[in-house]
Amino acid sequence: MLGEYTDRPGPRLRASAVRVVAVFGSVLNPVTERDRRRRRVVALCAPFAILVAIAGAYPLLEVVRISVSAEQYRSVGFSLAAYETLFTDPYYREVAFNSLWLAGGTALASVGVAVPVAHALEKYDLPGEDVLVTLVSFPISLPGIVAAFMILVLLGNNGLVTNLFAMLTGRAATDLAIAVSASGLFVAFCYSMIPRATLILRGTYSEVDHAAEEAAQSLGATPWQTFRHVTFPQIRPGITGALILTFRTGLAIFGTLIVIQTVLVWTLQISRELATGYNIQVAGAMATVYFLFTFAFTAFGLRYTDAEVGL
């Protein structure tokens, strides 16, 4: 009889409520050192929890609610028509594909450039190293619109690089200009993401065991063999982190796309949905899918990074 009674949900809920009240009371009025430590943890986490609730959870819930609204200008009813449009219309599949290849390609290219740059900055005493680090990290401080304008100045019809190559090859500058093409957008994305990848990898390189590198070289390993078998396994978690950051940055870039609207990607399409016809349900569905995808990708990537560190 006692077992039957305690298996009922009522007593279990009451016991859980009592435990919650006890924990809350210990936080407000700590008695032991454990209670005081718990109060410190709660106090430190409270601002972040408030920020997540106000700036994260609430707007996201509103976006989801808008995306399933049955009416255009009021959040009433329930409809999955916007999501059906996203997953069945070839137009939106193409937009998704453009977003993935552009962000993925620029992430790979940016990290590929950042690895040797970070290697040189950390391993060698370069002349004017502080100036070099400033120049490498400078694009991070630029808004996307400014970065796109700089690409136009360099690679546009009257760009510095364009006219230089035109003089060297004898071809028309208009034939060599790539600023407003997919290639120009690719360069603009890399311009913004290479510094981010470099800063991450500089921190990773600072933790490399140089004694192991010297031991490998003393045993006759070539510089490439030393990098491949000794250095690369140590910086691989940093490379994974840099790929995650640059890929997410590539998906989120918007300012550059306002100037160089060559490739139609997810963020630009959300803006068009709101500006053309004000299709707020589809825009909300696109924002929701974007959040879920980037969250899942980041969680998976960080889990993979943690597994590598554990090895």
pLDDT tens-place string over residues 219-270: 888 888 888 888 888 888 889 889 998 999 899 888 888 888 888 899 989 8
DSSP reduced 3-state for 269: helix
pLDDT tens-place string over residues 118-165: 988 888 877 877 888 888 888 888 888 888 888 888 888 888 888 888
Cα–Cα dist 300/243, whole Å: 12
Burial of 227 (0-12, 13-18, 19+ CB in 10 A): middle
Extended strands (E) in the chain: none
Which pTM does this prediction carry? 0.77
- Average pLDDT (20-33) is 64
Q: Is 308 a residue whose pLDDT tops 60?
A: no
pLDDT tens-place string over residues 274-301: 886 678 889 999 999 999 999 888 888 7
Cα–Cα dist 90/18, whole Å: 54
pLDDT tens-place string over residues 51-104: 888 877 888 888 888 888 877 766 777 888 889 989 999 999 999 999 999 999
Q: What is the pLDDT of residue 10?
A: 61
Cα–Cα dist 80/42, whole Å: 39
- The amino acid occupying position 202 is R
Q: What is the pLDDT of residue 108?
A: 95
**Predicted confidence band of residue 18 (pLDDT cuts 50, 70, 90):** low
Whether the Cβ atoms of residue 144 and residue 254 lie closer than 8 Å to each other: yes
Residue 307: Cβ within 10 Å count: 11
Residue 114 is classified by DSSP as: H
The token pair at 18 is 């009592």
pLDDT tens-place string over residues 177-206: 888 888 889 999 998 899 999 989 988 888
Q: Tokens 């004898």 label which residue? A: 170
Q: What is the pLDDT of residue 104?
A: 94
Cα distances (angstroms) measured from residue 271 to each of 11, 173, 280: 52, 33, 10
- The amino acid occupying position 186 is F
- Average pLDDT (3-27) is 58
Q: Which domains does the chain have, with CATH numbers?
A: 2-67 (no CATH), 81-310 (1.10.3720.10)
Choice among 22-36, 166-180, 272-286 with the minimum mean pLDDT:
22-36
